[in-house]
């Protein structure tokens, strides 16, 4: 289907119908290609995360060089996503690792109340505006902390993995 903006707008219903049929066919083709794309991505994930790592572990190797010079390497990965914030943050504080926790302050104001917003910036507490302190950890900071913790024998044994949502796996990478 091609649209030519220099072509006069069709007044014949058959031309409009044909253009609409072309549009429907194009959308259907895109859906088919997207489904094929997703299926191929799933095959890649299975090969990278399960099949090839299992095979390489079975024979005790961590890399393979293909005949075309492409190198395939097996690497250990650690993922984390806080599942129990209270337990995870308490553990960090008790183990002097709370430096990765970010603190934020949030205030609720009426919509469009720019004057109060400006005053809040100058002196939040003097205005008596309700606010709360929010604790969070940036996802990349959490990933780095989890990798370091899992690499440390003592921390790895002590850290509440479930609260931190720590997931360890291996994946192959093509270089």
pLDDT of res. 81: 94
Q: What is the pLDDT of residues 9-25, one digit of tens each?
A: 666 888 889 989 999 99
Q: What is the rounded CA–CA span in Å between residue 105 and residue 28?
A: 48
Task: Work out the burial of residue 87: count CB atoms within 10 Å of its CB; fewer than 13 is exposed, 13-18 middle, 19 or more buried.
Answer: middle
CA dist list (Å): 31 to 10, 42, 140: 28, 17, 34
Q: Are 135 and 101 in contact (CB under 8 A)?
A: yes
Q: What is the pLDDT of residues 44-95, one digit of tens each?
A: 999 999 999 999 999 999 999 999 999 999 999 999 999 999 999 999 999 9
Summarize the confidence of residues 30-36 as an average pLDDT.
Answer: 98
CB atoms within 10 A of CB 134: 10
pLDDT of res. 125: 72
CB atoms within 10 A of CB 164: 23
pLDDT of res. 136: 87
Cα-Cα-Cα-Cα dihedral sign, residues 120, 124, 128, 130: positive
SS3 of 6-63: the string is CCCCCCCHHHHHHHHHHHHHHHHHHHHHHHHHHHHHHHHHHHHHHHHHHHHHHHCCCE
Beta bridge partners of 94: none
What separation, in Å, do the N-terminal and C-terminal C-alpha atoms of the chain show?
39
Q: Which among 77, 52, 69, 80 has a CA at the least distance from the CA of 140?
A: 80
């Amino acid at each position: 289907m091609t649209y030519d903006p220099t072509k006069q707008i069709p007044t014949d219903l058959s031309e409009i119908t044909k253009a609409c049929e072309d549009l429907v066919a194009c959308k259907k083709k895109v859906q088919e290609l997207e489904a094929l794309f997703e299926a191929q991505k799933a095959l890649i994930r299975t090969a990278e995360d399960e099949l090839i790592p299992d095979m390489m572990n079975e024979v005790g190797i961590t890399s393979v060089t293909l005949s075309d010079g492409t190198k395939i390497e097996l690497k250990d990965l650690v993922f984390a996503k806080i599942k129990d914030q209270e337990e995870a943050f308490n553990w960090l504080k008790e183990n002097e690792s709370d430096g990765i926790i970010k603190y934020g302050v949030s205030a609720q104001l009426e919509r469009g109340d720019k004057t109060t917003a400006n005053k809040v910036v100058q002196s939040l507490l003097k205005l008596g505006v309700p606010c709360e302190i929010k604790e969070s950890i940036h996802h990349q900071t959490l990933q780095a902390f989890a990798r370091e913790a899992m690499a440390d024998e003592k921390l790895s044994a002590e850290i509440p993995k479930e609260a931190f949502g720590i997931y360890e796996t291996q994946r192959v990478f093509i270089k």
